[in-house]
Structure 1
Amino acid sequence: MAFLFIMKSYFTILLAAITLLACQSKAPSTERLETIPYTSQTDQSDRNYYLYVPKGYDDTQADWPLMMFLHGHGERGNGQEELAYTMAHGPVYEAWVQRRDLPFLIIMPQLHMFGFDTLGVSYLLNRKVENAPKRLQEGTPGREPFFPTQIEMSGSVANDSLPYENYGPMRGWEMVEEDLVAMIEHVQNNYRVDTQRIYLTGLSYGGFGTWYMGSKHTDLFAAISPIVGWGHPDLMPTLAGAQTPIWCVVGGRDEVVKSEYFYPGMNALEAAGHKNFRFSTEEDLGHDTWKRVYAGEDIYNWMLKQKKQ
């Protein structure tokens, strides 16, 4: 009888050990890229946006930081098969195509064409969806080189003769403000989101959009990071009032969105009493400064340190 009891205890312990070992050796859940459908409030069109879900999301009940990324002019499209163009640059390109382990849920929408497909813009007309960056079965694709530039590094002088009448170039992200807020709300309602760590970043057209959306929704974002898109001085009092953490980056050799136009907004931000902003110039780079920013670690580490109080 004692022998049977000992053997039963032995097998119970062995089974527990095997179960524990199996749990410890279980691989973390893999990252995934979801396509989320929605109806645009701007024109009632049926569209989609990407949602990147990070590695390990399914393994715990923890809440995760959420980032929204706004692309540039060249990635506009119909939100259907053309959504693939948004994969060209930014955090989702880094996380999905380059297989980097970025610990964020990431929303990546696509801006409507708003008539730009009729204006003969060559880089919009000559695109092909099949050439958009794709995740490989194994490994990662090579990165694009930086844009060549012959402009010498000489710095720039502030210029308050801003080239746009409103907050940025025409027909930008401000036209889909309701859509962007609704996307964030949908993800909050259907995924585990740390509402104290919701971030916004974007490049070029998306940089302008980041300034705009950040200023209009200071209650939502824990931090914003506009890349190669300047902020209009009119937007700064709201951001300063909320003390929204900001990191703005510009290319010193940028001939598309020139650094001289960044200073009026940044000076207005400081004059309004903002105490938590950074303004960085990559003097050796042009408009595609975003490649260095999003390929690095600093921007993501900085975001994760910002938390809404």
Structure 2
Amino acid sequence: MRNFIYLSLLCGLFFLSCSNDQDDNIIINQNDLESLPIDTGGVQTAKVIGSTNAIYGHYIYTPSDYNNASPNYPLLVFLHGSGQVGNSQTNPDVLTNLIYTGPPSMIEQKKWSPTYPMIVASPQLTSGSWNADDVHSFINYLISTYNINTDRIYLTGYSLGAYGCYSYISKYGADSYARAIVPIAGGGDVNSGNKYTTTAVWAFHGGSDNAVPTSRSIDMVSAINASNPNTKAKVTIYPGVGHDSDTRTFDGTGMNSESIDYDAFNMDIYDWMFLYKK
């Protein structure tokens, strides 16, 4: 089964290489992923503020065979939107707000089945916006606490969380931990395109988004590509879709509904992430 999946990924890679004239950092050798135990259903655990040394309260998902002696796993960090803000130190129940969308929601619904296992961390803001230094500190905490393959750290976010993805790379650039990011319905600093040289970017947005203009994603991707990154940034637009472009991207149901004027939604976003490695 793994061999079939691997061949499927290679077919996707071939398609990408034919459709993208600059994708220098794609990793064909995925032995570090092939050697990981198959995830038959892991555990997502709530960690309220103060229960760990992390700067955020968070959910942490570890695959089924994960233990202290496990090999190093890829890490996916999910940054939520403004509707999921909460202080779990004063009200532990608000941590469940994170189940609203994204990987933590898919895990809770038992719909989480990426090709290869990942540790998934979903931090929660107590207020305000995502701060790049705090995100970096949180990832440092995760690296020091779990068996993480630091060559395979990925970042995704929705709305406010998408802004957080861009903010993190715009601040840290090549010193960031993230090898690839998937920002959904967000935007960033178009003057920071040169910070994305070594980070792959695939943005998604609804074409009729009245909360965050679609142009925010398009302009950010254009700014990144104007700086000639190692991997050309992509943007996928869903015609007629508003701000709710999140679920269809996270679970892949948006495939074949995207605009032909922008980048095709031609593979699972997690398989796309796995193509990239430090």
Whole-angstrom CA distance in 2 between matches of 1:232 and 1:46: 25
Q: Please tell me whether Structure 1 or Structure 2 has the larger radius of gyration of its CA atoms.
A: 1
Deviation of 1:238 after TM superposition, in Å, equals 1.2
Give 1:111's aligned amino acid. Answer: L
Q: Distance in 2 between matches of 1:236 and 1:75?
A: 28
Query: C-alpha distance in 2, partners of 1:87/1:199?
Result: 19
Q: Which residue of 2 aligns with 1:298?
A: 268
Q: Which amino acid aligns with 2:236?
A: S
Matches within 5 A, 1:43-192: 48-58=57-67, 61-79=70-88, 80-102=92-114, 103-113=117-127, 171-174=128-131, 177-192=132-147
Paired AA for residue 185 in structure 1 = N
1:7-60 residue CA offsets vs partner (Å, 9 max, x unmatched): xxxxxxxxxxxxxxxxxxxx97741112335559xxx99862111112232497
State the one-letter code of the partner of 1:279.
V
Gaps of 5+ in 2: 1-37, 253-266
Q: In the alignment, is the contact (CA less than 8 A) between 1:69 and 1:202 conserved in 2?
A: yes
Please report the TM-score for the alignment, with normalisation by the length of structure 2: 0.71
Aligned partner of 2:272: which letter? Answer: W
2:45 is aligned to: 34
Contact 2:161 2:186 (C-alpha < 8 Å) held by counterparts: yes
User: In 2 relative to 1, CA 70–45 (structure 1 residues): closer, same or farther, beyond 3 Å?
Assistant: closer
Q: Which runs of 5+ in 1 are unaligned?
A: 1-26, 114-170
Residue of structure 1 in register with 2:245 after alignment: 289
Contact 1:52 1:106 in 2 (8 A): yes
RMSD: 2.6
Q: Is residue 203–residue 217 contact of structure 2 (8 Å, CA) maintained in 1?
A: no
Where in structure 1 do 4 or more consecutive aligned residues deviate above 4 Å?
A: 27-30, 37-40, 44-47
Taking structure 1 as reference, are residues 254 and 28 closer, same or farther at Cα in structure 2, changes over 3 Å only? Answer: closer
How far did residue 216 of structure 1 move? 2.0
Quick one: structure 1 residues 304 and 183, their matched pair in 2 at CA, closer, same or farther if it must change by over 3 Å?
same
Residue identity over aligned pairs, in percent, reads 29
**Corresponding position of 2:35:** none
What SS does structure 2 have at the residue aligned with 1:173? coil
1:15 aligns with: none
Cα deviation for residue 275 of structure 1 reads 4.2
TM-score, with structure 1 as normaliser: 0.64
